[in-house]
Structure 1
Amino acid sequence: MSGMPRAPRPSRGPVAIASSPWIVVLAGVVVMVVLVFVALGAYRGRSPAPDDGAVPPVVPLPQVTDPAAAPTPSRSSAALLPGLSPRATGSPPSTPASRPPSAGPPATRPPTRAPEPPAVGGRYRVVQSWDSGFIGEVLIVNATRESRDWTARLDYAGGRLVTSWVEGVPQGTARPGDGSFTYTSGVDVPAGGSVALRFEWQRASTTPRECTVDGVRCSGL
């Protein structure tokens, strides 16, 4: 018996697997789980990561509500749309009319004062005229309350002075020039009074180019 060769033992692996089917099922489940994890990893690797750590929005799940419990909209309530305000049903409140700002009292201007007459002034006139000359007069008037001296100046376009004098008072000084002359009083003209300076002029117009008394233009020109 010992010299006879032993027959080979059959492998127990396939027999064991065939006799235990749950091992096959368990192996299949493990393989499926591994494939699922691999697929999830590949999907996450392809999906873009949110920028700046932003959390992706959560999609709300639809809620099933009872149609009978939903409130019935009343006729007076209108649906509001985004960007639109509800229309008022009543009349708009009355706003008081804006009153214009009340103007203050008109600005009162200071009364304009009439220009004061010069202290000593002159009034020009022609007393007599002829072909070759004329006699002119400057009435010297003192508007102040005290006696004043005075100086008269006349300027003509050409001609010459023949003579000059003051009626009824001591004579002053006449200084003739080229078509003009200046007369300075010999005595002061009394307060509120007047004196007449007269002169004879030849070969000139009866209207002088200039007539002044103490630098003030004569009237009557």
Structure 2
Amino acid sequence: MSGSRRAPRSSRATAAIASSPWILVAAGVVVMVVLLVIALGAYRGRSGVDTPPDPPAPPLLLPEVPSSSATPTGPVRPGLSPRASVQPTTGVATPPHPAPRVTSRAANPTSPPPPAGMIGRYRVVNSFDGGFIGEVLVRNGTAERRGWTVRVTYAGGRFVTAWVESSEQGRATAIEGGFTYRSGVDVAPGGSATLRFHMERTDSRPTGCTVDGTPCVLG
């Protein structure tokens, strides 16, 4: 009797399932959802293990802020000190050690300083047919009274006479082409004596004129 009762129950369940197919569909959907959740969890766990971490961000380099005492005139570049680009504000740069100026102290040839010692200036006072009157102005450039000797020569000619204006006379000696004259009185410091002479048959330009060996200035 018990075997005859169980057979009807299984057939009833089978008949119920066959009459309601949506139950099988719902069960399949649940199984698929469970498998999808398991697969997604496994993928997330693997990606978290195998993926390396992101590299750290590089440090940000900021330019130095120039001090208030030096203001750069050019643009500030990263990594460079602003003090290197500071330009002078005085315009054209000047050298730290300017070259010294060299001035020439050469004497002016038109106005030479008076030399020390006895000096003379030669000139022609008067010219006439066959001769002329010449003059040597002797000046004492020293600080003491001194005597003097004049020597004048020409290219030929004949010496006639010589004398000192307004002073004690000295001694004249004729030489070839000219004469020598030794003073009879000393000349005071800064003072002068005028020697005049008469020459014939020669050109008035001398070949030599000295006072104590110093050449005369031709006037």
TM bin, normalised by shorter chain, reads 0.5 to 0.7
Residue from 52, 69, 73 that aligns with 1:69: 52
Q: Measure how far apart 1:130 and its partner are.
A: 1.1
1:211 to 209, 212, 218: 209
Structure 1 position 146 matched with structure 2 position 147: no
TM-score with structure 1 setting the length? 0.53
How many correspondences in the alignment? 145
**Bigger helix fraction:** 2
Aligned pair partner of 1:102 in 82, 93, 96:
96
Question: CA offsets, 1:30-65, max 9 Å, x none?
Answer: xxxxxxxxxxxxxxxxxxxxxxxxxxxxxxxxxxxx
Gaps of 5+ in 2: 1-48, 61-76
2:163 equivalent in structure 1: 165
**SS of residue in 2 equivalent to 1:206:** coil
C-alpha change, 1:132 and 1:143, in structure 2 (3 Å) is same
2:180 maps to 182
Which string of whole-angstrom CA distances, capped at 9 and with x for unpartnered residues, describes residues 13-35 of structure 1?
xxxxxxxxxxxxxxxxxxxxxxx
Aligned CA-pair RMSD: 3.5
Structure 1 unmatched ranges of 5 or more = 1-65, 78-88
Identical-residue share of aligned pairs (%) = 43
2:81 to 89, 93, 118: 93
- The 5 Å alignment of 1:73-84 reads 74=57
In 2, Cα distance between the equivalents of 1:134 and 1:112? 38
Q: TM-score by structure 2 length?
A: 0.53
Give CA deviations for 1:98-125 in whole Å, capped at 9, x if unaligned: 8765226947879889745333221212
Shift of 1:149: 0.3
C-alpha separation in 2, matches of 1:177 and 1:68 = 130
Q: Distance in 2 between matches of 1:191 and 1:180?
A: 28
